[in-house]
Amino acid sequence: MRSQPERIYFQIAEKLGLAKEVHHQDFDRIDPELSAVLHSAASKEPGSRNLPRWSLGSIQQRERLALVAELCARRYAGDFVEIGAYEGETTRRLAEVARKYPNRRVIVVDLWKPGIGPVKGGEYSTFLKNMEPYADIIDVMRGSSLDKDIMSLVRERPLAFAFVDGLHTYAACLSDIRTVSHTLGAIAVDDIRYIG
């Protein structure tokens, strides 16, 4: 019988039509370098020795995402995309990585509309201020990731890494994953356990 996280992972794979591609739940066997990157961030968490492996890494999420983006940048051509940026703390980390590689950009998609998600107002201004040092490599698409024009623009860009952290509904998350499905490297998805 599968453990709870394995069942969740497999259920998501089934919903996305990827169940046949799920070969094994042990990611060490799939990509040892990626596994090492994930473990390096997870091992820094307080109490990490007492927690199951699948639950590790959330406290060090931004560091983990930057490390995975770095791995993808070394392996693949293309830009980074972040769907759902809020005030840009993760965007800043991705931009730091992108800056190390020639002609790399970070595409950011967010609506920044008060009342949607945690947005109360002022977050877009904070985001722009936080991105000032990286303005030359950031492409902001202010709008819904479900907008057909924005989806089309993202699909036209070659991608090395994608981070999906938009609207946390099944339909929106599935749409966002499909929008970035041409990513050559990793696609990271936040809060998959909360998707209804």
CB within 8 Å of 74: residues ≥ 6 apart = none
Mean pLDDT of 165-176: 90
pLDDT for the residue numbered 20: 46
Run of H or E residues at 160: strand 159-164
* Residues 95, 97, 101, 107, CA torsion sign: negative
Strand runs labelled E in the chain: 79-83, 106-110, 138-142, 159-164, 187-189
Extract the tokens encoding 47.
């109490």
pLDDT-wise least confident of 16-25, 31-40, 178-187: 16-25
**CATH label, 77-194, candidates 3.10.20.310, 3.40.50.150, 3.40.190.80, 3.20.20.150:** 3.40.50.150
Alpha helices in 118-164 (DSSP H): 123-131, 148-156
pLDDT for the residue numbered 192: 64
- How many helices, marked H, and strands, marked E, lie in the chain? 8, 5
Choose between 45 and 164: higher pLDDT: 164
What burial class does residue 72 get, using C-beta atoms within 10 Å of its C-beta: 0-12 exposed, 13-18 middle, 19+ buried? buried
> Cα–Cα distance between 141 and 99 in angstroms, integer?
19
pLDDT band at 182 (very low <50, low <70, confident <90, very high): very high
Chain centroid to CA 91: 10
pLDDT for the residue numbered 8: 52
Mean pLDDT of 27-44: 70
Question: Which of 61, 77, 73 minimizes the C-alpha distance to 188?
Answer: 61
